[in-house]
Structure 1
Amino acid sequence: MKPITEQDLIAAGYEPGPVIHQMLETAAGFAARGIHDPKYALKLLAREFGPPPPKAVLRDKPAPFAEAIRHANREEYENIEAVRRQMRDLLKVPVISRGAVMPDACPTGKAKAVMPVGGVIAVENAIIPAAHSSDICCSMFATFYHERSEVGAELDALETCTRFGLGHRHLDTLVADPVHDEAVWDNPFLSGLRDRARVHMADQGDGNHFAYIGELDVDAGTVEAFRKAGHHDLAERLAGKGVCRVLVTHHGSRGLGAHVYKRGYIAALKHMAKKGLHIPDAGAWLDASSEEGKAYWEALQYVSRWTRANHACIHRRFLERIGAPEIATLGNEHNFVWKRGDTFLHGKGATPAWNDDRCRPLPGLIPLNMAEPILLVLGKDNADYLSFAPHGAGRNVSRTALRRKFHDESHRKETIRRTTEGLDVRWFCGKPDLSETPVAYKDARSVKQQIRDFGLAEIIGEIRPLGCIMAGATTSWRDREEELTPKQIRQIAHRSERRRVKQDLHEEF
C-alpha cells in the first residue's frame, strides 16, 4: 500500500501547516513498524494529534435579516415572498451573520441559497463569490458638464465613444488605458486575462447597462448638502454651475470580471468539498484569511479599479468629442464585496450608503428607469439595513414573463413608444428590448418613497432624463461572446506595443 501523503491528510480535513509535517513523520514511523493500512494509520494519527476539525454545515435556522421593502399589490407580494425564500436558504450558510433586503429586491434563478437581486449579507472572514454574481463591480459613474449642443447631437457623439452588445471590441478599435499595465497579472485569479481586459475597455455590454444623458439643476441645496456631508471638493466644483448636463453610465467588469468570478466560484466549490458538508453551491465560500482568499480579494480590488477606469474612459472620450470640460465626477459600485472591520459585506444590486473612513456619508447614484430621474443620494448609514440603499427600481416579474404579457408585437411597439415618449432612446444593436423599458420595472415613485421611509439614503438631487443608449435585443449569432484566438491575442499585444512605442517617442520629443 502507498504511504500516507500530505494530500491524504488535507483530504481527511487537517489544515495545511507544520502539524501536517509532524503527522507525516509519525505516519512514516507507523510504516516502519509494519502498519501500512491507511485507514488504520489515520485512526492512530487522530488519537495522537486529535481528530480533524468538523466540516461546516448549514444552520438549522437562518441568520436574521431586515426588510426595507413593502408591497402594494398581489404581484409585489409574490415577488417579496420569493425573495424571502431565497434569503432564508442563503442565511443558513454558517459564515453569514446578518442580511437585509432593499426596496428593489427580486428573486433570481432557482438554485438553492442563491442571492436575490437587492439582497445584502454580512459575512465573517469569508467571501462568497456567488453572492456578488458574475457581473462583478456592476456600477454607476456620473460626469457633470455644460451642454455643447442639442441632446441628439451629444448622443450621436456618445455612440462613437462606447460600445454595447455581447462579444468585445473589434481589434482595430481597442482603447488603451494605464490600468492594463498594473503589476497584477501573476494573481492566480487574473493570470492570462490581460487581453480580456484590453478588448473590453470602453465596452458596456448588454442587458440593463446604459449610457444616459440627463440634466440637473445644481441649486444651493445640493451644494450645501455636499458641503455639510464633508464633500467640500464636490461642493466647490458644483457651486454656481446652474443647470448641468450629466452623463451617467451603468455597467460592470465585462469579460474580465466574468472570468475572475468563474475562477473564484470554482475555487470556493473546491474549498467546500474539503471543509463543508452539504453546503449549497451558491453558498460556497473562500476563507478570507487563506492565501487563496487573499488572492481573490486582491483580484476583486483590481476588477474595481478596471471598471472605474472603463467608465472614466468612456466619459473622457465623450467630453473630448463634444469639446466640454469636466465639472465634477462621482460613482459607486452596487454588485461587489466591501470590507468594514472584519466583516465582508456582499451586495447583489445594493448601493453602499454608509459613512466613509472620514465620517462622510457616501454619495451614490440610483437609477429607476430610462424615463425617470436618476437619484443623487447621500447614505444615511442605517445599520438596521446593513447601511445599504437600493441600486435601482428592480422587477416584479422576469423578462420572460414580461414578454408573455406583451406577446403581440404591435402592442410591444406601442408600449415602448408610449413609455419613452419625449426622450431620445437609442438601441445600439438595432432592436428595442421591451424588458429594459419603464414597463419592466417597479413603480419609481414607490421605490423612491421607500428609500425615504426606511431611512436608507438622503435624496439631494434628481438627474432628469433627456436620452439614453442601451444595447437592445442581441440575439444574433454574431453577438456571442467568443474566446480570443491565438492570432487575436498576438494582434492585441502587437498593437499595444506599437501604442507604447509611439507614446515613448511622444514623451521624448
Structure 2
Amino acid sequence: MNKLRGNDLRKIGFPEGKSINLALDILEDKQLKKLDKGSALALLQKVKADPYSYLRDSLWRDLAKEFISDSNRSVGLNPEIKDYRRYGEAFIEDGARKQMDIAMQLPVTLDGALMPDAHQGYGLPIGGVLAVDNAVIPYGVGMDIGCRMALSVFALPRTYLDQRTQELKKLLHYHTRFGSKEIFKTPTDDPILTRPEFKEIAIVRSKREAAINQLGSSGSGNHFVEWGLVDITAEDTSLGLPIGQYLGLLSHSGSRGLGAAIAQHYTKVAISKCPLPPEARYLAWLRLDTQEGQEYWRAMNLAGDYASACHHDIHRRLSNALGEKPLAKVENHHNFAWRETLPNGREAIVHRKGATPAGQGVLGVIPGSMTAPGFIVRGRGEQDSIQSASHGAGRRMSRTQAKQSISEGELRRYLRDQGVELIGGGLDEAPVAYKDIHQVMAHQRDLVDVLGSFTPRIVRMDAGGSGKSKYGGE
C-alpha cells in the first residue's frame, strides 16, 4: 500500500503523540502490510470509534487504551448488590436474575425491581426495572424503543366474531403490514415525520426514509395485530365501559428500523464512553448532562412517539374499514426510560425494559399468548415495583427451543382446538413457548387491578413473507 504518514492519521482525528506512533508501528505487522491505504485508515477509524472492542486483542490493545480516557478506565461495579424486589421469583430463570444483580451493582443505580415475566436479554433483563441517577442506558431501554400495546374496543357483540370471521381476516390482510418487506404503497403522511430530530440528529436523519415507508406497519417476532373478545368485568370511570362483552382490536409493535438504529448507535457510543467489566458491558450509560446523553434522550422520545403513530395508523385503517368508531382505547408502552421521582423525593431515570408502567390509576394491557387471554389493568402505584408490572406472560423457552418442541401440524391443531385463526406466525411464537399468564398475574396482584380481559380469536403476525396477503389490496 501507499505508506501511511502521521498527517493521514491526524486527518481522521488521531491526536498528536503516542497514538500516531503506535498506529504506524501496528501497520508494519505482516498481516496488515497488504492492506491498501483506504482499508488501513478505515480500520484505524474503527479502533478509534470503539476502542473497548479491541482491548482483548493483543495487537490493538495498546492503541485502544489511548482512546479511553483515564476517567472512563476507572469505571467499575460496586462490590455489593443493592437490594431489589423480585416478583414470582420461583419461575424466573437464573440468567435474568444474574443480569439484574449486575445492574444493581452499577455506580449510578438507585433502585430496581424484577417482574414475574422476566427472562434473559442483553444488558438489563427483559422484565427489569432500573432507576438510575442522571443517566440513561441504551440497552436498559432495549432495541425496540417504545414498543407498545394498543387496544380499541367496539360496540359489536360476541356473535360478530363468529359470524364475520372471514371478513375480519380479510381486513387484517388488506390493512396491516409486517416485517421488513411489506409496506403500504401510499404510507400515511403523519406529523411525526416533520419533527426537528429528523434533521438535527444524524442517526435519525439517516432513517427518515425508512420511517416514512414503515409507518403503520408492525415488526416481526412476537408483534401482532389481532381481533378478539373484550370482556369487561369491573366498572371503571377512566375506561368508560359498562360490564359486558365487546369486539376488540389489539396490536403489539414498536419503533421499527428507526428504534433499532438508535439503540445500536448509542449503545456503541455508550460502550466507548463508559467501558465496564465484560459482564456489565451492555449496561454502559450516557450521562444526561452530556451532548451524547441529550441526543439519545431526544432520539428515544422520537422513537417512542413514532411507535405510537404506527399504532394509531393501524387502528385508524382498521376502524375505518370496519365502519365503527371505538368506544374506548387503551395504550401503554415499555422499552423506554422515564424521568420520575422516587418515594424519597429523589429524581431518577426509570428504565422499563419489557415492563409496563403501573402508576396509580394508569391503564394498560398485559397480553398472554395467541391462545391465552390478556388483561386490561389499572396500576396501583406500588412503590416496591417502582410503579411497574409485567409486559406480558414472558418466554419460558427460547425461540430455538420452541421450534424444536412443536411441529407445524401440532401448532395448527392446537390453534384449531382453541378456536384461534392464525395468519402468518412461526413456531417460535407457539403458545407453549410462553409462561402461564394466570400465574404471572397471580404474582402481581399488588401491582395492578384487573378491569377485564382480551381473548384472541384472529391473529396476524409476520412469517418471513408467508403471511403476505392472498387477497391483494394496497
Q: TM-score, normalised by structure 1?
A: 0.72
Distance 1:466 1:198 in 2: 31
In the alignment of these two chains, the number of paired residues is: 396
Structure 1 residues 7 and 94, CA, compared in 2 at 3 Å: closer, same or farther?
A: farther
Distance 1:446 1:435 in 2: 21
Q: Which residue of 2 aligns with 1:381?
A: 381
Q: 1:153 aligns with which of 158, 162, 167?
A: 167
Structure 1 residues 309 and 196, CA, compared in 2 at 3 Å: closer, same or farther?
A: same
User: Could you tell me how far 1:448 is from its partner in structure 2?
Assistant: 1.9
User: Could you tell me how far 1:372 is from its partner in structure 2?
Assistant: 1.7
Q: Which residue of 1 aligns with 2:372?
A: 372
Letter in 2 for 1:319: S
Q: Which residue of 2 aligns with 1:40?
A: none
Q: Secondary structure at the match of 1:383?
A: coil
The answer to whether 1:437 aligns with 2:430 is: yes
Q: Which residue of 2 aligns with 1:138?
A: 147
- C-alpha RMSD of matched pairs (Å): 2.9
The answer to whether 1:354 aligns with 2:367 is: no
Distance 1:438 1:53 in 2: 45
Q: Which deviations, in whole Å up to 9, do the C-alpha atoms of 1:99-145 show, x marking residues without a partner?
A: 21111111235xxxx22111111111100001121111111001111
Q: Secondary structure at the match of 1:340?
A: strand
Q: Which deviations, in whole Å up to 9, do the C-alpha atoms of 1:141-166 show, x marking residues without a partner?
A: 01111337623312311221111123
Letter in 1 for 2:148: S
Check whether the contact 1:370–1:465 (CA below 8 A) recurs between aligned residues. yes
User: Could you tell me how far 1:189 is from its partner in structure 2?
Assistant: 4.2
User: Could you tell me how far 1:218 is from its partner in structure 2?
Assistant: 3.9
The answer to whether 1:297 aligns with 2:297 is: yes
The residue correspondences of 1:16-31 to structure 2 (distance < 5 A) are none
Check whether the contact 2:84–2:111 (CA below 8 A) recurs between aligned residues. yes
Q: Which residue of 2 aligns with 1:162?
A: 176
Distance 2:429 2:355 in 1: 19
Letter in 2 for 1:255: G
Q: Which deviations, in whole Å up to 9, do the C-alpha atoms of 1:399-424 show, x marking residues without a partner?
A: 11222333xx4xx4124422452434
Q: 2:265 aligns with which of 263, 266, 273?
A: 263
Q: Which deviations, in whole Å up to 9, do the C-alpha atoms of 1:444-469 show, x marking residues without a partner?
A: 221121122xx111111112222211
The residue correspondences of 1:385-464 to structure 2 (distance < 5 A) are 385-406=385-406, 409=407, 412-428=408-424, 432-452=425-445, 455-464=446-455
Q: Which residue of 1 aligns with 2:59?
A: none
Q: Which residue of 1 aligns with 2:102?
A: 89
Check whether the contact 1:152–1:424 (CA below 8 A) recurs between aligned residues. no
Q: Which residue of 2 aligns with 1:206?
A: 220
Q: Percent identity?
A: 30
Distance 1:205 1:418 in 2: 25
The answer to whether 1:68 aligns with 2:59 is: no
Distance 1:52 1:440 in 2: 44
User: Could you tell me how far 1:81 is from its partner in structure 2?
Assistant: 1.9
Unaligned segments of structure 1, at least 5 residues: 13-50, 356-360, 479-509
Q: Which residue of 2 aligns with 1:55?
A: 74
The answer to whether 1:197 aligns with 2:206 is: no
Q: Which residue of 2 aligns with 1:466?
A: 457
Distance 1:203 1:52 in 2: 44
Letter in 2 for 1:208: N
Check whether the contact 2:146–2:305 (CA below 8 A) recurs between aligned residues. no
User: Could you tell me how far 1:473 is from its partner in structure 2?
Assistant: 5.3
Q: Which residue of 2 aligns with 1:307?
A: 307
Distance 2:452 2:427 in 1: 28
Check whether the contact 2:232–2:451 (CA below 8 A) recurs between aligned residues. no
Check whether the contact 1:93–1:279 (CA below 8 A) recurs between aligned residues. no
Q: Secondary structure at the match of 1:385?
A: coil
User: Could you tell me how far 1:314 is from its partner in structure 2?
Assistant: 0.6
User: Could you tell me how far 1:54 is from its partner in structure 2?
Assistant: 8.1
Q: 2:190 aligns with which of 171, 177, 186?
A: 177
Distance 2:189 2:461 in 1: 23
The answer to whether 1:120 aligns with 2:129 is: yes
Check whether the contact 1:419–1:437 (CA below 8 A) recurs between aligned residues. no
Q: Which deviations, in whole Å up to 9, do the C-alpha atoms of 1:206-252 show, x marking residues without a partner?
A: 11101121222446x33xx3x2xxx3xx42xx358x53211110001
Structure 1 residues 392 and 313, CA, compared in 2 at 3 Å: closer, same or farther?
A: same
Structure 1 residues 218 and 444, CA, compared in 2 at 3 Å: closer, same or farther?
A: closer
Distance 2:253 2:202 in 1: 25
Unaligned segments of structure 2, at least 5 residues: 1-5, 8-12, 20-69, 342-346, 469-474
Check whether the contact 2:359–2:379 (CA below 8 A) recurs between aligned residues. yes
Letter in 1 for 2:97: R
Letter in 2 for 1:368: G
Letter in 1 for 2:273: H
